[in-house]
A and B are shown apart, each in its own frame.
With several copies, the nearest count.
Chain A
Amino acid sequence: MTVDQTAVLTTYARAARAAHPALTALDQLSGDGDFGDNLCEGLDWAVAAVEARPVEPATAVAAAVFLDRVGGTSGPLIGLLFQELTRALSAAEDDWAGGVREGLAAVQRVGEAEPGDRTMVDALVPARDALAAGRSYADVAEAAIAGAVGTAAIRARRGRAAYVGERAVGAPDPGAMGLALFFWSLAVVAEPDAGLPAPEEVVPMPGE
């Protein structure tokens, strides 16, 4: 059964909007506060672009939008994920596993972040591994969410996370949470009966 790319994208856009206040608050704690805007704007633009160009694969449209127009460190990195998903899905039907594997590899080549550096990589790595193991999409989403939530405990010693220091410990990394929502959306479309929690519960406001 093929998972509908366009449905995943629109679901992701809705989920990100629902989590926007929490994503913004998380990036205010550990960064400059624009992650929620970057992600939501990018997804809204992508959804609009897909509506305007329905023949192109949704992931290809999203890749172009995120790579070309979305700001912040996260924007183009998410664009790379969509780019590799496009390649994988056009080469082999439903190869989300290959797309995430290659997307993560590109994100790491470019961003040079390792697991444990308190970045979106901490959501992507468990998702990739769960996909590679052939687990259900709901399991994949849960693995990504767990990886993202786990960043709350990290006081990174190196990389950009090091600048943040103690201040951010206790709240998770916004980018990791934002990427977890992608796998949540994939699962909601692929396995609508899995009974996943709402996006606001996946990404709660920090301190609540």
Chain B
Amino acid sequence: MNQLFLPAAEPVDIALRGFARAHPGLVTLHEDPLHVTAVHRHPDRRVGLVSGGGSGHEPLHAGFVGRGMLDAAAPGRIFASPHNRQVYEASRHAAGPDGVLHVVKNYTGDRINFGIAAERLRADGIPVRRVLVDDDLATESDETATGRRGTGATAVVEKLLGGAADSGLGIDELAALGAEFVAASRSVAVAGRAQTSPARGGTAFELAPGDVEYGVGIHGERAQVTVPRPSFDDLVERMTGQVLDALPATNDDGVILFVNGLGATTLLELYAVHETVAGLLDKRGATVAGRLVGSYVPALDMSGFSVTVTALRPGWLTWWDAPSHTPAFPRQELPR
């Protein structure tokens, strides 16, 4: 029976200290309430970008704090929303002359806590807008009022918003753009093994041998469908098809393809998935203009992966390719 290697008391606080200690030139740790802020900021940025959410999805969000992406992040306990005070203080630190933009994954707890923080900021006279990320196709249904969950697209949206914010846009333009980025992004995820339960150890749920969860989320909830594991190619084709069919027709601006590991899935697997999805996109005539492969939005140590596609519009690629200086998001310029 596996158990996480975590200290018994305050694991998130200790981990975040270790994170800040590992990246001293990039992020600053604040302990009361817990949040991290960026050391550097692009001189043209007018709006602070703030995100956050439950822990267990690292490097999301703290790993994306830094010049070019987020100005601050507020981590909750494992799989639990941050307290509004964390978001509030993070936002006060991060606010630019044109206010704060919150990037929020669509979960009730996150919506409420970011919402309360936004009310407090407004009471302080700081302009606040929100970008709600809801990309997960598995939760698309007319019956639930809660809507699609926010998953992998969050990393893509945070990078695009970072690039856009550094071009000097104002808060309303950024909020509108953020909503467009989300509308252009859809994801689906599968799992072959649940994550380790932080509380009890062992896997959080059991799968029959040879089954996979199709349409799994990032908080360890089961998917709505458990299916016999298809062949690798069939599985990847089904996922790619589902994502592409849900997107507006892609055009000459191409797409961003993000193959995300859910925690325990190896880079070897993720790159094989990447190669296979890219081949399918080729066949469909979609040009992959931007790529990201790695475990950037995991669900603790779940075995599985997600595929996210963002249909680009003119100008977006510049923001995707813009340099960023964060602990975890790779975007570097070569020396000339």
Q: Do chains A and B touch in the complex (CB under 8 A)?
A: yes
Chain A residues at the B interface, C-beta cutoff of 8 Å:
67-68, 73, 76-77, 79-80, 83-84, 87, 106, 109-112, 158-160
Q: Is B120 an interface residue (CB 8 A)?
A: yes
Q: Is B115 an interface residue (CB 8 A)?
A: yes
Q: Hey, which chain B residues are within 8 Å of A79, CB to CB?
A: 116
Bound CA span A159–B144, Å: 9
Q: Hey, which chain A residues are within 8 Å of B145, CB to CB?
A: 158-159
Looking across the interface, which residue of chain A has its beta carbon closest to that of B146? A159
Binary flags per residue of B293-314, CB closer than 8 Å to A gives 1, else 0: 0000000000000000000000
Interface positions, chain B 67-116, Cβ under 8 Å from A, are 84-85, 88, 108, 111-113, 115-116
Q: Hey, which chain B residues are within 8 Å of A83, CB to CB?
A: 119-120, 123
Contact A109 B84 (CB under 8 A): no
B88 nearest CB across to chain A (Å): 8
Bound CA span A84–B119, Å: 9
Chain B residues at the A interface, C-beta cutoff of 8 Å:
84-85, 88, 108, 111-113, 115-116, 118-120, 123, 145
Write 16 A-B pairs (CB below 8 A) sorted by A numbering: A67-B85, A67-B88, A67-B116, A68-B85, A76-B84, A76-B112, A77-B116, A83-B119, A109-B119, A110-B112, A110-B115, A110-B116, A110-B118, A110-B119, A112-B111, A159-B145
Q: Hey, which chain A residues are within 8 Å of B88, CB to CB?
A: 67
Bound CA span A112–B106, Å: 13
Q: Hey, which chain A residues are within 8 Å of B116, CB to CB?
A: 67, 76-77, 79-80, 110
Looking across the interface, which residue of chain A has its beta carbon closest to that of B123? A83
Q: Hey, which chain A residues are within 8 Å of B115, CB to CB?
A: 109-111
Bound CA span A160–B85, Å: 23
B182 nearest CB across to chain A (Å): 18
Q: Hey, which chain A residues are within 8 Å of B119, CB to CB?
A: 80, 83, 106, 109-110
Task: Given contacts A68-B85, A110-B111, list 6 more A-B pairs with CB under 8 A.
Answer: A77-B116, A79-B116, A84-B123, A110-B112, A112-B111, A159-B145
B contacts with A: majority SS: helix
Bound CA span A168–B85, Å: 32
Bound CA span A67–B118, Å: 12
Bound CA span A76–B111, Å: 13
A contacts with B: majority SS: helix
A63 nearest CB across to chain B (Å): 9
A120 nearest CB across to chain B (Å): 13
Contact B112 A67 (CB under 8 A): no
Q: Hey, which chain B residues are within 8 Å of A76, CB to CB?
A: 84, 112-113, 116
Bound CA span A76–B33, Å: 15
Contact B108 A67 (CB under 8 A): no
Looking across the interface, which residue of chain B has its beta carbon closest to that of A112? B111
Contact B120 A160 (CB under 8 A): no
B330 nearest CB across to chain A (Å): 36
Q: Hey, which chain A residues are within 8 Å of B118, CB to CB?
A: 110
Contact B112 A111 (CB under 8 A): yes
B54 nearest CB across to chain A (Å): 16
Bound CA span A83–B120, Å: 8
A33 nearest CB across to chain B (Å): 18
Looking across the interface, which residue of chain A has its beta carbon closest to that of B119? A106
Q: Hey, which chain A residues are within 8 Å of B112, CB to CB?
A: 73, 76, 110-111
Looking across the interface, which residue of chain B has its beta carbon closest to that of A157? B145
Looking across the interface, which residue of chain B has its beta carbon closest to that of A107? B119
Q: Hey, which chain B residues are within 8 Å of A106, CB to CB?
A: 119
Looking across the interface, which residue of chain A has its beta carbon closest to that of B145? A158
A162 nearest CB across to chain B (Å): 8
A-B pairs, 9 with minimum CB distance? A110-B115, A76-B116, A106-B119, A68-B85, A158-B145, A76-B84, A80-B119, A110-B116, A83-B123
Q: Hey, which chain A residues are within 8 Å of B123, CB to CB?
A: 83-84, 87
Q: Hey, which chain B residues are within 8 Å of A73, CB to CB?
A: 112
Q: Hey, which chain A residues are within 8 Å of B108, CB to CB?
A: 160
Q: Hey, which chain A residues are within 8 Å of B85, CB to CB?
A: 67-68
B224 nearest CB across to chain A (Å): 17
Bound CA span A158–B251, Å: 39
Bound CA span A110–B111, Å: 7
A67 nearest CB across to chain B (Å): 6
Bound CA span A177–B84, Å: 24
Bound CA span A190–B115, Å: 32
Bound CA span A168–B120, Å: 33
B322 nearest CB across to chain A (Å): 33
Q: Hey, which chain B residues are within 8 Å of A80, CB to CB?
A: 116, 119
Q: Which of B112, B116, B123 has the most chain A CB atoms inside 10 A of its CB?
A: B116
Looking across the interface, which residue of chain A has its beta carbon closest to that of B122? A106
Looking across the interface, which residue of chain B has its beta carbon closest to that of A160? B108
Q: Hey, which chain B residues are within 8 Å of A68, CB to CB?
A: 85
B249 nearest CB across to chain A (Å): 32
